[in-house]
């Protein structure tokens, strides 16, 4: 009976982790993820934002993700998710420059609104942006929930 109870508890924790899209990393710290998917000139790009699980219930509004590319890039939102239980807003913005030799300069800026009144003085909420393309280019940057920015080049189809 005791074994059944333990495996039932483990099953509930695993199910909760799957539902909340939790990733296990950084010496036992649990991270919760939001993963919109976009295309840039036909390339599939998954943008994964992650905050530590202990801050999930402090999120008090939609996550904002701004993707800046040259204006001649075909940009589409393919899939959006629940963004830390409060939704996600994905915006495309025209930047400077242009696509040269299929190289697309991209800037991704993300912020997650947090109830700061529930944080300790000086406490900041870490935010991680990871990007994965359909040609297996992977990049990660870390910052804070106030604003984190990633700059990179993605190779488009045309």
- Tens digit of each residue's pLDDT, the chain (158 residues): 444 444 444 444 433 444 445 444 455 679 999 899 999 999 999 999 999 999 999 999 999 999 999 999 999 999 998 889 999 999 999 999 899 999 999 999 999 999 999 999 999 999 999 999 998 889 999 999 999 999 999 998 75
pTM over 0.75, yes/no: yes
Coil, strand or helix at 79:
strand
Contact (Cβ atoms closer than 8 angstroms) between residue 25 and residue 126 = no
Distance (Å, rounded) from C-alpha 108 to C-alpha 138? 14
Q: Within 10 Å of residue 154's Cβ, how many Cβ atoms?
A: 21
Contact (Cβ atoms closer than 8 angstroms) between residue 96 and residue 70 = yes
Helices (H) and strands (E) in the chain, counts: 1, 11
CA-based nearest residue to 112, from 92, 127, 122, 123? 127
Contact (Cβ atoms closer than 8 angstroms) between residue 113 and residue 59 = yes
Cα dihedral value 90, 94, 95, 97, nearest 10: 130
| Cβ-based neighbours of 103, under 8 Å, separated by 6 or more | 153, 154, 155, 156
φ/ψ (deg, to 5) at 102: 65, 5
């Amino acid at each position: 009976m005791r074994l059944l109870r333990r495996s039932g508890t483990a099953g509930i924790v695993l199910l909760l982790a799957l539902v909340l899209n939790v990733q296990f990393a950084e010496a036992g710290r649990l991270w919760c993820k939001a993963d919109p998917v976009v295309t840039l000139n036909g390339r599939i790009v998954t943008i994964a934002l992650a905050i530590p699980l202990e801050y999930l219930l402090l999120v008090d509004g939609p996550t904002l993700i701004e993707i800046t590319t040259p204006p001649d890039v075909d940009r589409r939102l393919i899939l959006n998710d629940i963004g830390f239980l409060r939704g996600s807003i994905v915006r495309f913005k025209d930047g400077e420059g242009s696509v040269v030799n299929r190289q697309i300069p991209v800037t991704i800026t993300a912020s997650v609104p947090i109830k700061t009144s529930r944080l300790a003085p000086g406490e900041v909420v870490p935010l991680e942006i990871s990007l994965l393309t359909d040609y297996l280019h992977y990049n990660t940057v870390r910052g804070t929930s106030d604003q984190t920015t990633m700059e990179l080049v993605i190779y488009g189809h045309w």
